[in-house]
Structures are given as structure tokens and as C-alpha cells.
Amino acid sequence: MVTAGDDMAAGDVDAAPLLPAKPGAVRYRCSSCGNLTRFDVVATRQTRAFYHFTLAGECRIEDEDVLSELVESVTCRWCGSTAAVEVISPIAG
């Protein structure tokens, strides 16, 4: 296990993993079954988008920025665990 465990120096740690605004800037790992690749992520996003309408009324979304994102829960698709999913750093360098 790579889990920090009872790390007093880490301060208060939220149970829910946090995700930065950009998907792909974080990775998850299920410490229960070792899953690295498949997760159900429930998130609330606030976005700003450029809606480009034609005169006929067709809409095309040309640009979308994520202004904020709150990850509610991350669940492992393999074993169904939520508590065992931990955030790991993306491969650095």
C-alpha cells in the first residue's frame, strides 16, 4: 500500500478526491482492486461556451471553457468502491 495512512502532518484531508479544472490533469487509482483506468465520476461544472447560431437557428458550440468544477464522487468501475479511490499525480516529466 502506498497510502499515507495516519499522516498527522497532512492536515485535514477531505474524503472526496478533488479534481482540477482540466480533465486529464489528475489520475485516479483504486487501492482496493488496483484499477487505474475506469471510474465513474460525478461532477458539477460551470462552463462558459461560445454558441454560434446560423440565421436558420442551428447552433454550434465552438468553444467551451470550464470555469469551475466540483467532483462529487469517484467510483471504481471494477469493484464499485468509492472510499478506496485515491488521487495520484499524473506522470511527471
Site residues for Zn ion per CB under 5 A: 30, 32-33, 35, 76, 78-79, 81
Residue 71 CA from chain centroid, whole number: 6
Query: Amino acid identity, residue 23?
Result: P
Cell of 79: 469493484
Q: How far is the CB of 40 from Zn ion (least distance, A)?
A: 11
Cell of 74: 469517484
Comparing CB distances to Zn ion, the nearer of 40 and 65 is 40
According to DSSP, residue 35 is labeled: -
> Which of 39, 64, 42 has its CA nearest to residue 51?
64
Cell of 47: 462552463
Q: How far is the CB of 35 from Zn ion (least distance, A)?
A: 4
Comparing CB distances to Zn ion, the nearer of 19 and 85 is 85
Q: How far is the CB of 78 from Zn ion (least distance, A)?
A: 5
Comparing CB distances to Zn ion, the nearer of 78 and 86 is 78
